[in-house]
Structure 1
Amino acid sequence: MGNSLQEQLLKAGLVKEQTLKQARSTKRKQVKQTGGQPTAENQAARAAAERARAEKVERDRELNRQRQEEAARRAAENEIRQLIHSHRIVRDKGDLAYNFTDGSTLKRIYVNKDQHAKLAAGQLAIVRQDTFYELVPAEIAERLQTRDAALVLVFNRAKDETSADDPYAEYQVPDDLMW
C-alpha cells in the first residue's frame, strides 16, 4: 500500500526513472502556473462527479421511498388478512346455498339457516380472502370497507332512505327470497 503507482511501475520495469522524474516536474510546473488553482478540466470533472453523486443520492432516496411504500402496502395486506382470519365465522354443516357475485362470476357458499338470516339482515357479510370466501360480522365488514372496499362482496345494510323517483319504493322485498 505504501508504494505509489509510479513506484510500482518502476519496480516492475515498465517505466524508467527518468520518465517518472519528468512527469513529476511537469505536474509541479502546471500547478505552479495555475497558482495552485484547479484547471478547467479538473473543475469539469469535479462538477460531473458532483452531479453523478447528487443523481445517485436522488435515485437512492426514490428507491427507499418505493421500498417503504411496498413495506407499508404489505403490512396493510397482512393486517387485513389477520383481521379476516381472526373474526371469520365457521360455516361448517351449512345446508342452504347462498348465491352472490364476485365481479362478473356467480359464486355459491353453503351456510346454515341462522347464518342465512343474518346475511339477509346485514348482521353478517361475505368477504374475499385470497381465493376463499369468509363470513365476518358487520362491524368487521365496515372496517374492511374503509381499508379495501373490493374485499367486501356481500354486505346488506339496512336502507332507510328511499329514492323519491323509485317506482318500486312501496314494495318490500322479502328477506327470505332465494335466487
Structure 2
Amino acid sequence: MRNLLQQQLVKAGLIDKNKAKAVAHEQMLAQKRQPKGQAAPSAAQVDAQHALAERAERDRALAAQQKAQAHEHEMRAQIRQIVDAHKLPRGGEIAYAFSDHHKIRNVLVDSGQRAQLASGRLLIVRHGDGYEIVPRSAAEKIRERDATMIVLDHAQVAAATSEDDPYKDFPVPDDLIW
C-alpha cells in the first residue's frame, strides 16, 4: 500500500484491505493513462475552461439574436419597398372606416377603390405611421414576410366566417357608412 492514510484506515478497520488495493490500483492506472509531461489540470485551469465554454455559449446566443434582428430588419425594409412600389394614389373624398387593434381608423378613397376594398381585390396595410392601399398581389408578398402588416382583407374575413355564426344570415352591407 502506497498511501499512509490508507494504511491507517485499514488498521482502524474503517476500510478493508481489498478495497484499499483497488483504490491504489485505480490511482496507478489513472497516472499511466495520462500522457507524459502533462500534469493533471489544476482547479484554476478547469475553471478557466468552464469560463471559456460559457463565454462561447453566450457569444453564440448573442450572434443568433443579432442575426434574427438583422433578418427582421431586412423583412421590414422589403415590406416598405413593396408598399412604396405598389401603393395606390388616394385622392378620394369617401372616408373608408376599418378597425385596427380595436380602434376605428379612416382612409380617404374614391368609389372605385371602395368597391374593390369591399370585394377583396384591394387591401389596407400598415406603412410607417399611416395606412396604404395595395392590390392583392402585393399584399400576398407582404403576407409572406409579415402577416401582421395587413390590416384589412375582406376576402380573408369572408372565408373565416364560421358555420356556427348566428349572424351568418345577416351580412353587413358593403355600402354601410359609419
TM-score band (shorter)?
Answer: 0.5 to 0.7
Q: CA RMSD in A?
A: 2.6
Cα 1:74–1:90 shift into 2, 3 Å: same
SS at the partner of 2:177? Answer: coil
Of 139, 142, 145, 2:140 maps to 142
How far has the Cα of 1:163 moved from its partner?
4.9
What is residue 56 of structure 1 aligned with on the other side?
A: 55
What is residue 18 of structure 2 aligned with on the other side?
A: none
What is residue 84 of structure 2 aligned with on the other side?
A: 85
Aligned counterparts of 1:169 and 1:89: Cα–Cα separation in 2:
32
Cα 1:46–1:111 shift into 2, 3 Å: same
Number of residue equivalences: 142
- Unaligned ranges ≥5, structure 2: 1-35
8 Å Cα contact 1:141-1:155 kept in structure 2: no
Q: Normalising by structure 2, report the TM-score.
A: 0.68
Cα 1:167–1:72 shift into 2, 3 Å: closer
SS at the partner of 2:154? Answer: coil
Q: Normalising by structure 1, report the TM-score.
A: 0.67
How far has the Cα of 1:101 moved from its partner?
1.1
How far has the Cα of 1:74 moved from its partner?
0.9
How far has the Cα of 1:96 moved from its partner?
0.8
Aligned counterparts of 1:53 and 1:146: Cα–Cα separation in 2:
40
Aligned counterparts of 1:48 and 1:142: Cα–Cα separation in 2:
53
Identity %: 40
Cα 1:164–1:58 shift into 2, 3 Å: closer
Cα 1:133–1:43 shift into 2, 3 Å: same
